[in-house]
Amino acid sequence: MNADRGGHHNKANLLLDDDGFILIDHELCLHFIDGDSERAYQAILDEFKDNKWPQTYNHHLFYSKLKSYRGQKRPLFDTFKEYLGRMDVNKIELLIEELKRSGINVGGSDRLIQYLYYLKQNSNKYCLIMLSLIA
């Protein structure tokens, strides 16, 4: 969902080094955070409650690879689910406060924290939705 990525730009959100790769992203993937209304955020939650995900997932860097993967897909998100379930949202809140004290605008950070807690509490469902997208 990043305007400076994909399409005719053909730039993946990927950093490479000698040890492997790191997927990167920035706040544009969380488009609902800085809006003036709760509608965009609520729309994300409503889709999640209906076991759906916004259609932009099919633009993800690895979507076509995961979709065409011939091996067992069930365990693909196990590690992610474990990390998501253990994520310390309090540490993220502390980092946001540090950024604010440094005069850095952090936008709708309350909504971000709320969203992260929601995903953490629903990590199993989140991963099941992700699996359904590549089934």
Sequential DSSP letters for the chain: --TTSSGGG---SEEEETTEEEE---GGGGTTSS-SSSHHHHHHHHHHHTT---GGGGGSTTHHHHHH--S--GGGGHHHHHHHHH--HHHHHHHHHHHHHTT----SHHHHHHHHHHHHHTHHHHHHHHHHHH-
In the predicted model, what is the mean pLDDT of residues 29-48?
Answer: 84
- pLDDT tens digits, one per residue of 44-103: 899 999 999 888 777 777 888 999 999 999 999 999 999 999 999 999 999 999 999 999
Residue with the bigger pLDDT between 9 and 131: it is 131
- pLDDT tens digits, one per residue of 71-82: 999 999 999 999
How many structural domains compose the chain? 1
Do the domain assignments include residue 10?
A: no
Do the domain assignments include residue 122?
A: yes
pLDDT of 134? 95
Owning domain of residue 128: 33-134
Among candidates 31, 131, 125, 49, which has minimal Cα distance to 84? 125
